[in-house]
Structure 1
Amino acid sequence: MEFKLADIGEGIHEGEILRWLVKEGDQVEQDAPLVEVQTDKVTAELPSPVAGVIERIMAREGQVVPVGTVLAVIREAGVKAAAVASGAPGEQASLQEKLAPQAHSEAQPGREAAAPQASGAVRQGGKRRALATPHVRALARKLGVDIDEIDGTGPVGRVTEEDVRRFAEGAREPVAQAPTDAARAQGEAGSRVEAPVARGELVEQVPLRGLRRRIAEHMVQAKRIIPHATHIDEVEMDGIEALRERLRPYAEARGVKLTSLAFFVKAVAIALKEFPYVNASVDEAQENVLLRRYYHIGIAVDTEHGLIVPVVKQADQKSVFEIAREVSDLARRARENRLSLDEVTGSTFTISNAGALGGLYATPIINYPESAILGIHKMEPRPVVRNNEIVIRNIAHVSLSFDHRIIDGGMAIRFTNRVRELLEEPDRLWAELR
């Protein structure tokens, strides 16, 4: 049987083969994990649908393949190898036709396998299928464009957003891209005489794969589409710290580790209801602003695999204790790479808490397609002026990066002021709870 990349939902149209857990000739049981696949959101282990022997592996590690691609051929238990090899000529030809586009290439180790066509498309059942990210496919559908007819100009012939828009306007021929700064620099370097470098000893080549590749694509997409601006402020945290100390025994009795992040999540959820554009996104294809009336807060988690953003759903309807428990659980399972697709999708606003790592402040990149992200930075005692006297207070810097297409500076400042007000005077935070 043909083992294919299945549609796992949430608009996923392709995946990257991270690691094969079996090799050709291995005997596998039904539901045994065969391969690790990285999608836009999660890493998933795909199980074997039958018991049998791995006859042939068709997709290489590092290769990006669309849903429906044959990843491997499995000889089911009880079926002799000779029966497979000596099948009817028509059946053999049909199988080879299906598998040819994904046949093994002689790509160099550490590099993605070469695309079967110059355009970066593959053939599925005789039909051409372009390589493109889920966002680009969604844009093509909105614009009424058949993405499989487009010749991509991206890496490995991948169809880009610009390709789709150009095609929708009637320009079917891809426009030659101007040389990048890196390409120009390389050309200039080629005209200079430099001392030879032993690349094998001084330069390590690390393939851009898996989650790191997805993060790179997502960050480039966010910066290319969204005009970022950032507002920076400081929050006096003494009131929250005192409240945490008072609540600590109650939290511990309930098995909850109460952190200041839980209070930030609650304060943000309250403020978002008053500033709907900060909880919005832009539909570029229809030129609409989507004001979301639900409040799903993404929490950026630093893991050894890369940055993962699990989501606290309906944060406005949960208590601080519930939020603290859920954030702790999501962060732990994110580091263990055990989150489900639902747990890392659907966020309407993101918080990036880098305070434990240090640093004064930063300008976080918005989690596209959201309209804003709040960065929380190091909290430490600092001298401040209160009532014309210098006193020591626990101060944390915060930075709000926002989409300047729909959020002006005044709105960003007022939103941040509201979050700060709720945190600096916790009595107001409790008074706003619903």
Structure 2
Amino acid sequence: MGSFSFKLPDLGEGIVESEIVEWYVKTGDVVEEDQHIADVMTDKAVVEVTAPVSGIVTAIACEAGEMLAVGKELIRFDTEACGSGTSSHASASDAQDQNNSVSQPKPADITPKGERTSNSPNKETVDQSPPVACSASPSREAPLPVSNGVSGTVLASPSVRQRARDEQVNLADVPGSGPAGRISHKDLDDFIASGGVLASPAGLRSRRNGQTDVKIKGLRRVIAQKMLQTKRNIPHYSYVEEVDVTALEELRQHLNANRESHQPKLTLLPFIMQALVKALPKFPHCNAHYDDETSILTQFEAVHMGIATMTNAGLMVPVIKHSESLDLWQSASEVSRVSEAARNNTAKADELSGSSITITSLGALGGIVSTPIINAPETAIIGINKLQERPVVKDGAIVIRKMMNLSASFDHRIVDGYDGAQLIQALKRLLENPGAIFV
């Protein structure tokens, strides 16, 4: 049998291991050269890996969601079973197996599938030996089913158990009315009389006993790891202030009613971007990156605005570079473009990295107050809460105004409480007097 061993290639970015996100083949499958066989995740992208040869899959390294070191065997093929068309590959494989070198992919073997926002965690990998070994921890047996409100063994007398065996009834399906969910003869009778439908104990609603174990992998695993590292390493503090956006809303509605056909519809976000760009020069340490290993704070003149965006895969932060150079309409167009690219998984690597400050908003779901987590290595993040009409006191009278809270978080190692409050107050003044944004 001609065996071709395909090693996990170096996918760039200096990574030493990758997560196998998804397999599209299994042992025994016949594959053609250049067929899509797996998705592999780097620090910022899911990469499509294609078959370097035609053949039958004889071994797969590990399950989806597990980590594999670069240079370890990813998949093995029997190439002789598919004819002589793969003989050149087979001979290359023989030489490869002799020197145990790392298989480098052809340019066509790897295709970027989508970009990501966070760094992958570092994990130790286990040496592999034929057939193939994985780097993840051993799988565990499934837990005992939960039944009758108690996990583990079903509580019932020997006579009830014997009756259940005779009637071919699974006691785990029978709700018990006794102490700790103990099943009585009457419970078994009621269950059988109902045709095997779960019967509720007297006076109680039916119980839900199902449970589902979901392996956290891919982008969700990367997000979880980065959030843990960020929250653990950065001493956050949050500052919340309410903003009267009545005048801003009137301006926004006026501009939307009179916009040109080629101009995008304006939301509040482009106005907030414009106000933040105007306020940040006085607070350069809030438009910055802090490297805690070198203790260097890098302050940026340019404002590279991160826009937190919810996608089907999880939270991503596309970046609008040089927001200070954009007008209101251009800001709105860029928000729409980069957010859509993130949701469609078509954003480029450059559009998913390099932000200097981030804005996050849940729109109508924004709540009254939030405590956003900083997008490390940045030093500040601005959260936008929902806009709603509220009674407020203005000039000694109670009036209805359109109010919205800003919830900001800062890195307390760099931004003192006074400075963070000053930035949000400057932002508030601009938003409450929107004409000042454009002067």
Q: Same fold (TM over 0.5)?
A: yes
The CA deviation string for residues 163-189 of structure 1, in whole angstroms up to 9 with x for no partner, is xxxxxxxxxxxxxxxxxxxxxxxxxxx
Amino acid aligned to 2:74:
L
Match of 2:271 among 263, 274, 279: 263
Deviates more, 1:245-254 or 1:228-237: 245-254
Partner secondary structure for residue 250 of structure 2? helix
Q: Which runs of 5+ in 2 are unaligned?
A: 104-122, 129-134, 139-148, 155-171, 173-208
Summarize deviations over 1:123-154 as a string: whole Å, max 9, x none.
Answer: 69xxxxxx9xxxxxxxxxxxxxxxxxxxxxxx
Q: In the alignment, is the contact (CA less than 8 A) between 1:5 and 1:70 conserved in 2? A: no
How far apart, in 2, do the equivalents of 1:348 and 1:13 lie? 27
Q: Name the one with the larger helix percent.
A: 1
2:426 aligned to 418, 423, 429, which one? 418
Q: Which residue of 2 aligns with 1:376?
A: 384
The residue number in structure 2 matching 1:22 is 25
Q: Match of 1:330, SS?
A: helix
1:325 aligns with 2:333: yes
Distance apart, 1:98 and its partner CA: 6.6
Alignment-derived partner of residue 36 in structure 2: 33
Aligned equivalents of 1:204 and 1:3: distance in 2? Answer: 34
Separation (CA, whole Å) in 2 of partners of 1:29 and 1:277:
52
* SS of match in other structure, 2:151: coil
Offset from partner CA, 1:210-254 (integer Å, 9 cap, x none): 111111101110011100000000111112211111211454511
How has the CA–CA distance of structure 1 residues 92 and 69 changed in structure 2, closer, same or farther, with 3 Å as cutoff? closer
Structure 1 residues 156, 323: closer, same or farther in 2, change over 3 A?
Answer: farther
Q: Counterparts of 1:330-341 in structure 2 under 5 Å?
A: 330-341=338-349
The 1:404/1:33 distance shift into structure 2, 3 A limit, reads: same
**Pairing of 1:221-240 with structure 2 (within 5 A):** 221-240=229-248
Q: How far is the alpha carbon of 1:266 from its aligned partner?
A: 1.9
Q: Who is 2:74 aligned against?
A: 71
Could you say which residue in structure 1 is the equivalent of 2:417?
Answer: 409
In structure 2, the partner of 1:6 is 10
Deviation track 1:62-82 (CA, whole Å, cap 9, x = no partner) reads: 112344544334659975678
Secondary structure at 1:281 match in 2: strand
Instruction: Tell which deviates more after alignment, 326-335 or 406-415.
Output: 326-335
Deviation at 1:38, TM superposition (A): 2.8
- 1:401-422 CA-to-partner distances (Å, cap 9, x unmatched) read 0000010011001100111122
Which whole-Å CA distance do the structure 1 matches of 2:367 and 2:210 have between them? 31
TM-score w.r.t. the length of structure 2 is 0.69
Long gaps (5+) in structure 1: 100-118, 125-130, 132-154, 158-193
Provide the rounded CA distance (Å) in 2 between the counterparts of 1:339 and 1:44: 13
Aligned to 1:134: none
Q: For the Cα contact (< 8 Å) 2:7–2:71, is it kept in 1?
A: no
CA distance in 2, matches of 1:21, 1:287: 45
Partners in 1 of 2:42 and 2:259 — Cα distance?
37
CA RMSD of aligned residues (A): 3.4
Which amino acid in structure 2 is aligned with residue 71 of structure 1? Answer: L
1:315 aligns with 2:323: yes
Task: Name the structure 2 match of 1:398.
Answer: 406
| Residue 220 of structure 2: aligned partner | 212
Any idea what the Cα deviations from partners look like across 1:283-328, whole Å, max 9, x if unmatched? 2222222212221111111223211111111111111211111211
Aligned ranges for residues 38-187 of structure 1 at < 5 Å?
38-48=41-51, 50=52, 52-53=54-55, 55=57, 56-73=59-76, 79=84, 92-95=97-100, 120-122=124-126
Q: Per-residue deviation at 1:8?
A: 3.9
SS in 2 for 1:202: coil
Separation in structure 1 between the aligned mates of residue 371 and residue 213 of structure 2, nearest angstrom: 29
Moved over 6 A (4+): 81-90
Q: Is the 8 A contact 2:277 2:303 kept in 1?
A: yes
Displacement of 1:204 in angstroms is: 1.1
State the alpha-carbon separation in 2 of the partners of residues 342 and 326 from structure 1.
Answer: 14
Q: How many residues align?
A: 344
Distance 1:332 1:287 in 2: 36
Larger Rg: 2
TM-score normalized with structure 1 length: 0.70
State the distance in 2 between where 1:250 and 1:198 align: 70
Secondary structure, in 3 states, of the residue corresponding to 2:303?
A: coil
Cα displacement string for residues 95-144 of structure 1 (whole angstroms, at most 9, x for unaligned residues): 5x879xxxxxxxxxxxxxxxxxxx823569xxxxxx9xxxxxxxxxxxxx
Residues in 1 aligned to 2:92 and 2:45: alpha-carbon distance in whole angstroms? 38
Q: Cα gap change, 1:354/1:67 in structure 2, threshold over 3 Å: closer, same or farther? A: same
Alpha-carbon distance between aligned partners in 1 of 2:94 and 2:83, rounded to the nearest angstrom: 22
Mapped partners of 1:65, 1:312: distance in 2: 34
Deviations 1:6-48 (A, max 9, x none): 3344x55543211123345433354x53322233333333445
